[in-house]
Amino acid sequence: MNAIVLPDSTLLFDRIADDLATTGYCIYPRALPASLTDRMYQYLQELEQEEFRRAGIGRDQEHQLNRQVRGDQIRWLSRACPEEAAYLAWMEALRTGINRRLMMGLFDYECHFSRYPQGAFYRRHLDAFQGRTNRVLSTVCYLNPDWQAGSGGELLIYADEQARTPIERVEPCYGTLVVFLSDRFPHEVLPARRQRLSLAGWYRVNNSLGGIVDPPR
Ligand SMILES: O=C(O)CCC(=O)C(=O)O
Ligand SMILES: [Fe+2]
């Protein structure tokens, strides 16, 4: 694997941890090393359509293909693939960085590429499954070069379940990283006028009982 040299991310991790502790979310343009963002984008261009599948709602057992809720196609990342491992390594550094600063006990990370075809959306939802809140921190990184304002595809973040007006409208610009508490902030993806690419991931805590570790996804 071509090792990516990670620049010192201490300051960035400090700021992310501060934001999570105060507001519970943060949005950073160009958060990742540019070489890593470029590498993920190049890799995504090479992936064949068959390597994506239409996203379902809920965990495996209750997978339900539902275009009324979300229209993206996904591909889960695995450490076995060097390109995917490079992104997972950066997210692992962020995991330990946050744990060190906030004692959140983040245990592992699961992540997929998302491809929203033109017009696709993801209706308002919370990322933490009710009664199974082992997803505690959501991350999204966007891979859309030359994204134009007015193309739609914004991520809208709401303060709580009652809120009707978003507290944030995030353009899915190349390299922007969003991190938020999974069970706190309802959010949605608006339909876009062009294809919209991203990496969506979740840090999980270990809710296992009796030494059985929760399976991923
Ligand atoms: O792509 C985004 O901006 C958010 C995606 C999302 O909410 C999800 O995959 O759960
Ligand atoms: Fe989400």
Share of the chain above pLDDT 70, in %: 85
Torsion angle, CA of 38/42/47/49, rounded to 10 degrees? Answer: 90
Binned at pLDDT 50, 70 and 90, residue 55 comes out as: confident
Q: In ligand 1, which atom is closest to the CA atom of 138?
A: 10
CA of 211 to the centre of ligand 1 (A): 31
What is the reported pLDDT for 112?
96
CA of 140 to the centre of ligand 2 (A): 9
ipTM over 0.85: yes
What residue ranges in the chain does DSSP mark as E strands?
25-28, 53-54, 73-76, 108-116, 122-125, 135-142, 155-157, 168-170, 177-181, 187-189, 196-204
* Ligand approaching nearest to the C-alpha of 140: 1
Residue with tokens 């590498």, as numbered in its chain: 39
The CATH architecture annotation of domain 11-50+69-204 reads: Sandwich (2.60)
CA of 210 to the centre of ligand 1 (A): 32
Which candidate, 137, 134, 143, 142, places its Cα nearest to that of 216?
A: 134
User: What residues are in contact with ligand 1 under a 6 Å CB criterion?
Assistant: 114, 122, 127, 140, 155, 187, 189, 198, 200
